[in-house]
């Protein structure tokens, strides 16, 4: 059957299937409004994974371009409108928009890396390709070879991206040694001979907060702050990175793609719309995507309301907590306590701070913050959770 030409608009009822896994089609889709969920099975574990498409994103691109069956099932959540492009229309669009090509190449490059990691996992090589360990080995190689400039650069990048890993202490020691002009290790010791194991008796905790609790402002009885803080899923949806640099490139008036212009018409999403998109990603467990949107809300030009800003800070903190990046999460929660004392997210903020201290093994501080939650009004499920936490910690 011949493909139709021109951009088509299709409206789907809730729960409709746009296409099934293994379907064959050369159509490419753009989500205009509503929600679309992509469901696929990981080849290495057999696990079913669900990823949500953001408004303005393309999906179904790889299989259409490669002319092979769909790798996932696309299903609508709620009433959904999509734009459907044939190959000729898609080619006309990208020929007039270099930015689309650039972003698509980056997305496909990221996907190739993910495929490479998956292949190595299937082959049983996953233990040898841990990204933080690979970066550490690079720094160690140059350190032992006496190339201190490259070694220092690699270790500094390691500390930037992996500050809470087992080898962070060694990386920091290497940086200090290089900075002090210390001697290189013996040349006859190769990087392959380095022992990456850590003496469990000397391991430091994942993170640690000061005993005087200066990392957080103290609260008075009504929940206001009396101080200031001192600290500041392997597969993404098919086009999850597509709009990472310019989120608004295709999220505006997508009723009118003009093939005669050099670029599509755009409009800027409101903070409320971005916040809703971030909340949906958070609810579906897409923490990386949600975090990107939350942080973008408060980084956007101009100001947003305190209510929106507080919700964005809180959402970012929750994402980082779920990703076990506790120090970064604490930074966002501390900002809420300092700058948004009247926010309705204060109770949830205190509860998450309690969970962070609990994860750090600082039981007394965790109980103290759970008690703050327990005494706050109005009473709701968070109060009940805090009480359960207190009882559990006191029994332990």
pLDDT of residue 347: 93
pLDDT beyond 80 at 126: no
pLDDT of residue 118: 64
Mean pLDDT of 317-325: 93
* pTM attached to this predicted model: 0.40
pLDDT of residue 299: 76
pLDDT beyond 80 at 62: yes
Q: What percent of the chain has pLDDT over 90?
A: 26
pLDDT of residue 91: 84
CA neighbor of 259 nearest in space, from 3, 7, 4: 7
pLDDT of residue 72: 92
Q: Rounded to whole angstroms, how far apart are CA atoms 168 and 132?
A: 10
Of 39-53, 189-203, 330-344, where does the model show the most confidence?
330-344
pLDDT of residue 90: 85
- Tell me the backbone φ, ψ of residue 12, rounded to 5 degrees: -110, 145
> What is the phi-psi region of residue 10: left when phi exceeds 0, alpha when psi lies from -120 to 50, beta otherwise?
beta
CA neighbor of 336 nearest in space, from 365, 352, 313, 370: 313
pLDDT of residue 199: 36
pLDDT of residue 230: 34
Mean pLDDT of 180-207: 42
Centre a 10 Å sphere on the Cβ of residue 302 and count the other Cβ atoms it contains.
5
Q: Rounded to whole angstroms, how far apart are CA atoms 381 and 389?
A: 12
Q: Rounded to whole angstroms, how far apart are CA atoms 287 and 236?
A: 10
With cut-offs at 50, 70 and 90, classify the pLDDT of residue 119.
Answer: low
Look at 13-17, 96-100, 132-136, 230-234 and tell me which has the smallest mean pLDDT: 230-234
CB distance 281 to 141 below 8 Å: no
**Alpha-carbon distances of 370 from 244, 271, 348, 375, rounded to whole Å:** 37, 31, 10, 9
pLDDT beyond 50 at 321: yes
pLDDT of residue 269: 73
Better-predicted residue by pLDDT, 223 or 286: 286
CA neighbor of 16 nearest in space, from 29, 32, 35, 3: 35
The per-residue pLDDT for range 145-165, each reduced to its tens digit, is: 888 888 888 888 888 888 888
Counting Cα atoms < 13 Å in the Cβ hemisphere of 65 gives: 13
Which structure tokens are listed for 288? 């990386």
Q: What is the 3-state secondary structure of 32-77?
A: EEEEEEEEEECCCCCCEEEEEECCCCEECHHHHHHCCCCCCEEEEE
pLDDT beyond 70 at 11: yes
Q: Rounded to whole angstroms, how far apart are CA atoms 327 and 207?
A: 7
Mean pLDDT of 360-370: 91
pLDDT of residue 114: 63
Name, in order, each residue with C-beta under 8 angstroms of 340's C-beta and a sequence gap of 6 or more. Answer: 306, 309, 310, 313, 346
The per-residue pLDDT for range 276-312, each reduced to its tens digit, is: 888 998 988 888 899 989 988 877 656 688 889 999 9
Domains within the chain, CATH numbers bracketed = 8-122 (2.60.120.10), 127-202 (1.20.58), 271-395 (1.25.40.10)
């Amino acid at each position: 059957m011949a493909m139709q030409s021109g951009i088509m608009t299709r409206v789907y009822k809730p729960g409709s299937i746009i296409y099934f896994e293994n379907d064959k089609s050369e159509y490419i889709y753009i989500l205009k409004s509503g929600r679309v969920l992509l469901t696929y099975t990981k080849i290495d574990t057999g696990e079913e994974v669900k990823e949500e498409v953001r408004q303005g994103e393309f999906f179904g691109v790889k299989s259409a371009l490669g002319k092979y069956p769909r790798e996932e099932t696309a299903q609508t959540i709620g009433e959904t409108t999509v734009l459907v492009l044939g190959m000729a229309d898609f080619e006309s669009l990208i020929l007039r928009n270099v930015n689309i090509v650039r972003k698509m190449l980056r997305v496909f490059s990221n996907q190739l890396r993910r495929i490479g990691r998956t292949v190595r996992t299937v082959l049983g090589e996953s233990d040898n390709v841990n990204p933080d360990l690979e970066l550490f080995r690079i720094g160690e190689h140059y350190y032992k070879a006496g190339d201190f400039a490259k070694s220092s650069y690699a270790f500094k990048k390691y500390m930037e991206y992996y500050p809470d890993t087992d080898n962070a202490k060694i990386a920091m020691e290497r940086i200090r040694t290089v900075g002090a002009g210390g001697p290189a290790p013996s040349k006859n010791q190769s990087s392959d001979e380095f022992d990456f194991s850590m003496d469990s008796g000397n391991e430091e905790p994942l993170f640690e907060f000061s005993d005087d609790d200066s990392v957080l402002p103290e609260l008075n009885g009504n929940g206001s702050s009396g101080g200031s803080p001192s600290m500041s899923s392997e597969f993404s949806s098919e086009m999850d990175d597509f709009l990472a640099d310019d989120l608004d490139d295709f999220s505006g008036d997508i009723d009118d793609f003009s093939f005669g212009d050099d670029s599509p018409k755009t409009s800027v999403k409101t903070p409320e719309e971005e916040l809703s998109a971030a909340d949906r990603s958070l609810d579906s467990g897409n923490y990386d995507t949600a975090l990107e949107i939350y942080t973008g809300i408060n980084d956007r030009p101009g100001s947003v309301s305190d209510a929106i800003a507080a919700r964005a800070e809180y959402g970012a903190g929750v994402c980082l907590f779920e990703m076990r990046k506790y120090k970064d999460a604490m930074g966002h929660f501390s900002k809420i306590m300092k700058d948004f004392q009247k926010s309705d997210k204060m109770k949830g903020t205190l509860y998450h701070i309690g969970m962070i201290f609990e994860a750090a093994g600082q039981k007394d501080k965790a109980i103290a913050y759970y008690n703050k939650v327990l005494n706050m009004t109005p009473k709701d499920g968070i109060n009940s959770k805090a009480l359960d936490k207190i009882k559990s910690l006191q029994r332990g």
